[in-house]
Amino acid sequence: MRTQPSVAAIILAAGRSSRMEQGYHKLLLPLGNKPVIAHVVEAVLNSQARPCMVVLGHQADQVHAALASYNTNPSLHYIKNPDFALGMSTSLRSGLAALQSIDKDITTRSVEQPSLTIDSAIILLGDQPFINPTLLDALISRHYETQRRIIAPQYNGKRGTPVLFAASLFPELAQVQGDEGGKSVIARHLTEIEHLEVSENLTQHDVDTWEAYQQALTQWQQNTHVE
């Protein structure tokens, strides 16, 4: 059977929203006609990235319920991280472990189509609702064009997120500790990074705080008005 390389997506959606006021869960706050986390999941599902792994933790059942409309998509997988309170690195490890465990099982049902082999993964944050499929597909295209092991967007000279990591770096990512994603891995492989220059900085906006959420609402209303 033919095999086809695939870039997976791991959405880190397990955090406690500790910086959000009034006890709100940032991923469940409404933005437009859907919660914040749904915008991120929808962006991935509308991109070339497959499969899409969503790592849950804080209020896992509520976040899962908020994504119910996407559950018929066979590319969407959920992982519960019981250690989410120990930091982002635990969610990254949970996502990588689950991704590697299903890698052998990701095959298409049609004999006309090749099976998929995961050769890299894009690490996304669940609180960045303006991430879009165009950016994700651009990261994937640049990865295959350059064969670089790390592809990261760059805005006005500043590296951003999400970041694509080749599968050969998964063991290093799995060793990250504390409340960190892949920064330490990036720091060890600076010469292997390919930066993707992007003019739109809005994709970097997160909703960590109530003020940031209000800014996101304003931006969303402006975008909707323009459309």
Domains and CATH numbers, the chain: 3-226 (3.90.550.10)
Please tell me which residue, 128 or 224, carries the higher pLDDT value: 128
Pairing between β-strand 52-56 and β-strand 76-80 as defined by DSSP bridges: parallel
Are 136 and 47 in contact by the 8 Å Cβ rule? The answer is yes
Peptide bond between residue 153 and the one before it cis (omega within 30 degrees of 0): no
Arithmetic mean of pLDDT, 190-209: 87
Are 51 and 102 in contact by the 8 Å Cβ rule? The answer is yes
Please tell me which residue, 35 or 158, carries the higher pLDDT value: 35
Arithmetic mean of pLDDT, 43-47: 97
Mean pLDDT, the chain, whole residue set: 88
For the entire predicted model, the pTM comes to: 0.90
pLDDT confidence tier of residue 48, bands split at 50, 70 and 90: very high
Other beta carbons within 10 angstroms of residue 92's beta carbon come to: 25
For the segment 53-89, what is each residue's pLDDT rounded down to a tens digit? 999 999 999 999 999 999 999 999 999 999 998 989 9
d(CA 58, CA 67): 15
Q: Which helix (H) or strand (E) holds 54?
A: strand 52-56
Quote the pLDDT of residue 110: 41
d(CA 202, CA 219): 9
Residue 13's nearest CA partner among 178, 220, 206 is: 206
Other beta carbons within 10 angstroms of residue 207's beta carbon come to: 27
For the segment 95-145, what is each residue's pLDDT rounded down to a tens digit? 999 988 875 554 433 444 456 689 999 999 999 999 999 999 999 999 999
DSSP three-state, residue 178: coil
